[in-house]
A and B are shown apart, each in its own frame.
Chain A
C-alpha cells in the first residue's frame, strides 16, 4: 500500500545472520542477504536446504509455533522480529504477499475465489464489500483469468491447476505489495502452464515494479525468472551472485555438482544403450482404456500401439492427464485394457508376468512400511517357489549391493532409508524377478536433482549389463531425453509423435511437441529471455 512510511535508501529485504531452529534441528544457519526494490532474487536448493523456511520467516509465520528465529529480518521497512502482531498483520499481504506451491490446497475449498480475494483486500484496505469484490474481479482479470467477473464466483475445485495459481497471484496483487514471495510457485504445474505462470510473474514485475523473492528447487526456473541467485545447502548460503555468473561460471563445488546433475533438454544422450537393436520383447496394439461409466466415462488411453526391443529405452513423455501412467500400468498387466492387447515375446499376455516389472514413482508408498526391505526384495524369489532361505538371502544381498546399497540393509525397514535409497530398493525388487522389461513410472520425479542423476545412471548401467528393455514414463522432458533411445509424446490418451529421441527433440514435427519443448526452462538466462520474447510474440499473434 502506498501510504506506508518507508525509510529511503533501505533495501526492500534485509536479512542478517538469520537462524531458524525447529527444536534440535537447525534449518537455517547464519544466512545473510538483501534484495533491492524491484529486484528479483531466487533461493535455490534441494530439499532440506531451508529455503522455504526462510520464505516463511520473512513474514514472521514462525511466530507462535515454538520455532526459534534468530538474527535480523527487515521487510519493506518492517522489523519482522520486533514488530507487534498488528504490524505483522499489516505487512502480511499488504506490503509483502506470498504465493504457495500447491494452489489447490492453498485456497479455501468452500468459498468462491473472488470472495477470498475480497476478504484479504478488506483486511488491508478500508473498502466496502462491493468495492472489495470489484477489486477482486479487477486483479483476476489482470492475471489473465478470462471472463473474470463470472469466474470470480467459482470455487477453487472448479479451476484448473494453472488458473488456481493465477488466482493466488491475483490475491497477492490485490493490495499492490512491494514484495512478492513465491514459494515453489510452479512445482505442481505442467511444464507449459509453468512457462505461462513464469511469464506472468515477469510481466507483472515489469509493470508494477514489485520485488520478487523466488524459492525453488529448479535451477531452470530460477534462470528464467530472476536477476540474482542464492544457492543454499543445509541451511547455509553456498554461493550468491548475478544469475548469469553463478549458473555460467559457478565458483563452488556444490553449485557445480548441482548444475552438473540437472538434465539438459538440449543435450543428446551421452551413452547409447546398444549399437544394434535387439528382437521385439513387448508389443502393444490398439490399447484403449476407459474409466467410469455413463456420463462420467472418459478415455484415459486411446488406440495406442508401440513396440519395445531388447536392450533399448523407450521414453514416454506427457503432461498430467495425458494417460502415460495408465499406459504404463497396462503394459505391465496391473490394469486390464478396455480394448487392444499386449504381447510379450510374441504371445498374448494373460496376467501379470514376472518378466515385466515396474519401478514406481512414490518411494514412500511403493514399499510396505511393515516389512523389511530384504523381505520385499525377496518376494519375487519366494513367489517363484524358492524355499532355500540361504539362497534367498544370498541373492537379495547380491541385489542390494548391485543397486548401491549394503548387504546388511536386509533387515532394515523402509522408513530408515532416504527417498533415493528407497528407489534403489524398488529397483532391486524389480531385478529379483529376473525381468526382461522394466517399466519405470516417474521413477525420479520425487527425488532431488543430484539423487535423480544417480538413480538414472544406475538404471542405465543395469540396462547395459543385463540387456534390459526399459520403458521410462515421465513428465520431465529433459530427464526423458537423458535416458531414452526412442521417445513417444502423449497427449490426451494418444501418442502424438514418436521416433528416435534426438530427432523428436531437435526437429519436432507435432505442434504440441514444439509447444512442450518451447516451455522447458533453460539454464542460460539470455536464452531464456529470448525464448520468453518468442513465446510472447507467439501469444500476441
Chain B
C-alpha cells in the first residue's frame, strides 16, 4: 500500500509538471506579439520594446520557464517600472493588467469556487447515486421509466441553460429567493448556504444525471453477475442484494467517474459563476481571457489543473481501498 501511495503521488507530481510545461509553452509561444498584447493596441513601438524588456521576452523560452518554476518554488522579485515588488513562495507572476500578484488574486477568489464545487459535489453524489440505485431497484417499472426520462433530460441540458431557467423562474418570476450574492461562510453560514443554493443546484443537477446513468448501468451489470445469483439462490432478499451487493459493485466506477467529471464540473463552475455573478476564479478567468492577461490565465489554469490532478489521485486511492485487487494487480 505504501509503495502504491508513493507511486501515485509521484505520478501526480509528474503530471502536474507536464501540464505546467504544456500550458506555459502553449501560452507563451502565442501567435500574437505578447508585448503588444500586454501593452495594449495604442502603444508606440518604443513602449512595446520597453514592455518586452520588462517581460524578458528576449530570453529563450526554457530560461523563462525555469524562472517561472523558480518563482513557484522560491518566490521572485519583480520590477514594475519604478518600484520592486517581492512575490513570495508559490509565485505565479504578476498580472499584466493590474500588477497584482496572481497567487494573491487566486487565493482571494478560491473560497468562492471551492464552496461552489464541493457543495455541489455533495449534492450530485447524493442525488445521482440515489436516483441510480432507485432505478436499478425498480427496474422494468414505471418509476424506472420516469427516472430514466428525467435523467436523460438532465444530461441533455447545458449547465447555463438550467442555471438561466432556475434564476429566471425562482428569483425572477416566483421571487422565492433573491438573486444570489456571495456571502462568505465565515461571515454568515446561513446566508452563505441560501445564496449558493441555486448555483449548487444548477451545477449539481447536470452532474447528478450523469451519475444516475452510470450508477444504474453498473448496478445492472453487477446484478447480472454470478455472485448475485449465489445470494439469490440462498434466499437473500432483493433489498440486501441491491443495497449490499449490487451497490458495492457500483461504487468503484462511481468513484472513477467523480474524478473524471471533476474537470468538467470545474468547467461548469466557470459558467455558474459567470451566470450568477459569483466572484470566484471562474469569473476571474473569463475576465482575464477577455483582456488577454496571460500570467493570470496561466496561473488559473495551473491551479485548476492542480485540483483536478489531486482529485484524480484521491480517487485512485479511494478506488484502491474500495477494490483491493487493484493494488495487487
Residue A106, interface by CB 8 Å: yes
Taken together as a complex, chains A and B put the C-alpha atoms of A283 and B235 apart, in Å, by 58
Give chain B nearest CB distance to A57 CB in angstroms: 12
Residue A119, interface by CB 8 Å: yes
Taken together as a complex, chains A and B put the C-alpha atoms of A174 and B286 apart, in Å, by 64
**Residue in A closest to B226 when the chains form the complex, CB atoms:** A105
Residue B64, interface by CB 8 Å: no
Query: If A93-B234, A93-B235, A124-B235 touch, does A109 touch B229 (CB 8 Å cutoff)?
Result: no
Q: Which of B223-259 contact A (CB under 8 A)?
A: 225-227, 229-237, 240, 244-245, 248-249
Residues of A within 8 Å of B232, CB to CB, are 61, 92
Q: Report which of A102, A105, A110, A120 forms a contact with B234, defined as CB distance below 8 A.
A: A120
Contact B229 A100 (CB under 8 A): yes
Residues of B within 8 Å of A59, CB to CB, are 233
Contact B229 A91 (CB under 8 A): no
Interface size on A, residues (CB 8 A): 28
Query: If A106-B226, A119-B240 touch, does A61 touch B233 (CB 8 Å cutoff)?
Result: yes
Residue B86, interface by CB 8 Å: no
**Residue in A closest to B246 when the chains form the complex, CB atoms:** A108
Q: Report which of A94, A100, A157 forms a contact with B230, defined as CB distance below 8 A.
A: A100
Taken together as a complex, chains A and B put the C-alpha atoms of A404 and B320 apart, in Å, by 51
Chain B interface bracket (under 10, 10 to 19, 20 to 34, 35 or more): 20 to 34
Residue A26, interface by CB 8 Å: no
Question: Which has the most chain B C-beta neighbours within 10 Å: A106, A109, A110?
Answer: A110
Q: Which of B251-299 contact A (CB under 8 A)?
A: none
Q: Report which of A91, A100, A111, A168 forms a contact with B235, defined as CB distance below 8 A.
A: A91
Residue A433, interface by CB 8 Å: no
**Residue in A closest to B328 when the chains form the complex, CB atoms:** A157
Contact B225 A105 (CB under 8 A): yes
Contact A106 B235 (CB under 8 A): no
Contact A108 B227 (CB under 8 A): yes
**Residue in A closest to B245 when the chains form the complex, CB atoms:** A108
Residues of A within 8 Å of B240, CB to CB, are 119
Q: Report which of B234, B237, B323 forms a contact with A171, defined as CB distance below 8 A.
A: B234
Taken together as a complex, chains A and B put the C-alpha atoms of A61 and B231 apart, in Å, by 11
Contact A100 B237 (CB under 8 A): no
Contact A123 B234 (CB under 8 A): yes
Taken together as a complex, chains A and B put the C-alpha atoms of A108 and B226 apart, in Å, by 9
Residue A155, interface by CB 8 Å: yes
Taken together as a complex, chains A and B put the C-alpha atoms of A405 and B107 apart, in Å, by 75
**Residue in A closest to B225 when the chains form the complex, CB atoms:** A105
Question: Which has the most chain B C-beta neighbours within 10 Å: A89, A106, A108, A120?
Answer: A108
12 interchain pairs (CB within 8 A)? A61-B229, A90-B235, A91-B235, A97-B233, A107-B230, A108-B248, A109-B323, A110-B245, A110-B248, A119-B244, A155-B324, A171-B234
Binding site for B on A (CB under 8 A): 59, 61, 88-94, 97-98, 100, 102, 105-111, 119-120, 123-124, 155, 157, 168, 171
Binding site for A on B (CB under 8 A): 225-227, 229-237, 240, 244-245, 248-249, 322-325, 328
* Sample of 19 more A-B contacts, CB < 8 Å, known A93-B234, A93-B236, A107-B230: A61-B232, A61-B233, A89-B237, A93-B233, A94-B235, A98-B234, A102-B226, A106-B226, A106-B229, A108-B227, A108-B231, A108-B248, A109-B227, A110-B245, A110-B323, A120-B234, A123-B234, A155-B324, A171-B234
- Kindly list the 8 A-B residue pairs having the minimum CB-CB distance in the complex, ordered from nearest: A93-B234, A92-B235, A105-B226, A89-B235, A93-B235, A120-B234, A108-B227, A110-B248
